[in-house]
Structure 1
Amino acid sequence: MHNKSSKQSSKPEKIEYPAWMCVECGHVYDPGAGDPYWEIRAGVPFEQLPEDWFCPVCNADKDKFRLFSSQL
């Protein structure tokens, strides 16, 4: 006998990664969205971006990004 309420959800758990903001231009890298310019798929955390990755807006190096927290 199967009980629907005892079934575990087949939906994968959503993992949230923090966003990072460029100190030069204010561009925010959101891991949930990825980076279409660099063809980085959604879900890639900032730490896993290629070493040669740079800001798609102002070309600042990766080390010019800081953790971003929204104060909404």
Structure 2
Amino acid sequence: MAKFKCKVCGYVYDEDNGEKRRDLAAGTKWDDVPDTFKCPSCGAPKKSFVAI
């Protein structure tokens, strides 16, 4: 599973863990995360994330 880092604040979205605060179950692939996703730490849009 992959990880994606917010370029604004450094928050890391880990596909293995998902994101409870955004109702994304563990195992949710980044491609399946909605384009409306906002960083749960700083509110940056999905386009602000890069693969790590």
TM-score class normalised by the smaller sequence:
over 0.9
| Alignment-derived partner of residue 14 in structure 2 | 30
Where 1:58 maps in the other structure, the secondary structure is: coil
Indicate the structure with greater strand content: 2
CA distance in 2, matches of 1:54, 1:27: 11
| Alignment-derived partner of residue 62 in structure 1 | 46
* Alignment root-mean-square deviation, CA: 0.6
- Number of equivalenced pairs: 52
TM-score normalised per structure 1: 0.70
What are structure 1's unaligned runs of at least 5 residues? 1-16
TM-score normalised per structure 2: 0.94
CA distance in 2, matches of 1:49, 1:43: 11
What are structure 2's unaligned runs of at least 5 residues? none
Name the structure, 1 or 2, with higher relative contact order (CA <8 Å, separation 6+).
Answer: 2
How far has the Cα of 1:39 moved from its partner?
1.2
CA distance in 2, matches of 1:61, 1:50: 10
Answer with 1 or 2: which has the greater Rg.
1
Look up the equivalent residue of 1:32 and give its one-letter code: D
How far has the Cα of 1:60 moved from its partner?
0.3
